[in-house]
Amino acid sequence: MTNPRLTRTHRGVLLAALMLALVACGNEDKPVAAAPADPEPWPQVAWPLAEDAALEKRITDLMATLTVEEKVGQLVQGDIASITPDDLRKYRLGSILAGGNSDPGGRYDAAPAQWLALADAFYEASMDTSQGGKAIPVLFGIDAVHGQSNIIGATLFPHNIGLGAARNPELLRRIGEITALETRATGMEWAFAPTVAVPQDDRWGRTYEGYSESPEVVASYAGAMVEGLQGKVGSPAFLDGRHVIASVKHFLGDGGTADGKDQGDTRISEAELVRIHAAGYPPAIAAGAQTVMASFNSVNGEKMHGNKPYLTDALKGRMHFGGFVVGDWNGHGQVKGCTTTDCPATINAGLDMAMASDSWKGFYETTLAAVKNGTIPQQRLDDAVRRILRVKLRLGLFEAGKPSSRAVGGQFALVGAPAHRDVARQAVRESLVLLKNQGGVLPLSPRQHILVAGDGANDVGKQAGGWTLNWQGTGTTRKDFPNADTIFEGIAQQAKAAGGHAELAVDGKYATKPDVAVVVFGENPYAEFQGDLPTLAYKPGDDADLALIKRLKADGIPVVAVFLSGRPLWVNREINAADAFVAAWLPGSEGAGIADVLLRGPDGRVQHDFKGKLSFSWPRTATQYANNVGQKDYNPLFAFGFGLTYTDNGDLAALPEVSGVTGNEGAVGVFFARGDAGSGMALRLEGSTGQGVTVTKVPESLEGGLLNVTGVDHLAQEDGRRLAWTGKGEAVAALQSHTALDLQRESNGDLMLLTTLRVETAPQGEAWLAVGCGTGCSARVALGPTLAKLPVGQWTRVGVPLKCLAAAGADVGKLDRPWSIGTAGAMTLSVSRVALGALNEAEATVACPGA
């Protein structure tokens, strides 16, 4: 039946998408249908590099001189926050990396020159033989996932979800070239990109790292991006000093985990695994990708870091991958029977280099022992070392000299160069998807009074998203982006040039009524773990953005909504309230690219029309998770491939405003919020014997008057709880989970347990924060010294790294009490939120035991 709410344009695109689905997938009976049985579903790929006899002899000759210790060192990669150049002189590791929160001197805003100096120091250490060992240059890798995005001033491209909407592989090739140049200028020669995940459940917090839900779109981009980063095989530019080695990731199935859970289990037939999730690997391998990164997730219960049939038999065997396989951040530690410091199984499965970020020393020692006792066969060790050395030789690393002396080393004018920013601005223009244009309100005349409102209007960090200067992309300021334009700045520049005026008012308040308002809003930055959602509802319980749009509309002002997000979300109410609605994704540093499309030129002509087409289907409800083109009963709100242009009728009938959310879906990683314990949890008050009361109402008291709880206001009425210890005896306030929580992946990801609190009266005795993990299993850290330093009466976020709690004795794989605070003395605290969060979200950090 035709949907009466869709315009002719909407219906046409939906019909086209359905026809594509039928042609590609046939008549399907399951949410992700199984392909016809095929004993060999893996494609045969021709590795593009012929064997080089001289290079192989050089490897053989070098390996003949290496000790087993030196060979094992090549298999290990350590993070710069945990290894020093002097460590490298001793242990001769094959590689170092800068993780998302690792920077020179621990400063996220370190200057490019500091990065280059650090790269030089590590290179010189790897080539220093004064303490023995062979001179084998170290590889320096970094998450350059949307440009060289860890570096102040770098060009920041739209995240992959936006690039997928552009449908422009040649643009991807140019983005790869620029990313390589800016990476090389700052000292690294290895980019952990491209991501060729094919996200199937948009609740996944890494959805924006995928180009599309469509394997075909991903496949069309993979080879182009690899060639951009590395240069084209057979050309003089291949792996020269202006290019880097790529890392195609994450092998395999990262985008298909059950319920979109990061690092979860992908339950799927092998044929469908290959058809959907392996789509990007054949073109990447055919383009000569030098590394592939193993994925955190499991496939049908088997962790990929320990999956020999896929890492060795399929990737290296059937697909003839001729580079080396690198792990992800301590991912080997999740393999059955392994820890982060001890995992011979991952090497035997086919991992050639372990990303043993902060566990490198222990991993090196146990791997060495495993080689010596035969657990890791010599042949497997030699194959891994040979693969790594082969890549280093192809890259010319042995003759390259230190990073600052190479082709573009130290040419910091390349970082955020105007020509590079022009390409990023083009990418922004081509990524924008127009979903609604009621009455043709767009394009806007720049000659009028334009109000630019919303918390995304003048915030580069928000428009750039995660993996920007730090892992989660949070805590940045405007000064951190010297080579960037906010969305407001882009609009203001063009309006001024045309004789108009743009006014910034984040809250939408104005003195003189504007002619039109552009409201920029959306998701706050996040990355893996933090970004997982329980539903596709946009900011449930927070209607501030909707209220802003409605208030401006009520004043008779046309509203253009610009939505910043890392995935399609249920925003029917916001779409209904606005006159025009633009999906801008996470556009990066070039906010002016949005003005290029929204505004006419000074002459009144359209500057740039909308080109973007949805690479992810837009949900009809907040619970429509199986919503990918080709699936049975495919019925999105806006279909894969949809995107209006200025020549289309952009009118849209009112959308239903029932989200489908029941209220039973728990927020991911949130244990206490809005005055209540998280889903499946309860707030308990207990004495030293463990006897106590479950808080179901306030006020409430523990028997004997040891601890009292009342409501308190933070951001809303009684959204917090005031906990008052009377000093009459030991008591704790605890969050008790009905089922044990497995937080191993979050601990591995360096997350914190964050408590948003306000000290009302400082502790008069010892106070602690603790977690419990069953009978006889617990850990606690001293909280009193941290609380004593906090200003009384001021809300703040206090963080305890999960790794600290693990080191203190907690089994973070089975926490049934993920938070408690206790004291025997008098103390009063107000608490409004307990949740997992990134390191840089804490305003005060509890010292780890022994630190």
Q: Which residue has the tokens 């806007």?
A: 444
- Read off the tokens for 168: 């422009």
Q: Which residue has the tokens 């039109």?
A: 516
Instruction: Report residue 596 CA to chain centroid gap.
Output: 28
d(CA 535, CA 259): 10
**395 and 557 Cβ atoms separated by less than 8 Å:** no
Non-local CB neighbours of 566 within 8 Å, separated by 6+ positions: 159, 161, 205, 207, 208, 465, 466, 523, 526, 531, 585, 586
d(CA 208, CA 280): 16
Helix (H, G, I), strand (E, B) or coil at 756: strand
Beta bridge partners of 585: 564
- Read off the tokens for 364: 């090196």
d(CA 628, CA 527): 22
d(CA 229, CA 172): 10
- Tell me which of 103, 270, 272, 328 is the catalytic residue: 328
What is the widest separation between alpha-carbon atoms in the chain? 83
- Tell me which of 177, 523, 528, 590 is the catalytic residue: 528
The answer to whether residue 528 is catalytic is yes
d(CA 548, CA 539): 14
User: What are the phi and psi torsion angles at 130 (to 5°)?
Assistant: -65, -25
Non-local CB neighbours of 317 within 8 Å, separated by 6+ positions: none
Please list, residue by residue across 610-632, b when 16 or more beta carbons sit within 10 angstroms of its beta carbon and e when fewer do: bbbbbbbbbbbbbbbbebbbbbe
Burial class (CB in 10 A: 0-12, 13-18, 19+), 651: middle
Instruction: Report residue 3 CA to chain centroid gap.
Output: 36
First to last CA, the chain: 65
β strands within 21-147, DSSP E: 76-79, 95-98, 139-142
Non-local CB neighbours of 425 within 8 Å, separated by 6+ positions: 590, 592, 593, 596
Non-local CB neighbours of 500 within 8 Å, separated by 6+ positions: 445, 446, 447, 448, 449, 450
Q: Which amino acid is at 650?
A: G
The kind and range of the H/E element at 817 are strand 817-823
The answer to whether residue 328 is catalytic is yes
Task: Please report which residue ranges of 697-771 form alpha helices under DSSP H.
Answer: 744-748
User: What are the phi and psi torsion angles at 605 (to 5°)?
Assistant: -85, 155
Nearest to 488 by CA among 473, 508, 503, 476: 503
Nearest to 538 by CA among 554, 524, 559: 524
d(CA 539, CA 802): 26
The set of catalytic residues is: 328, 528
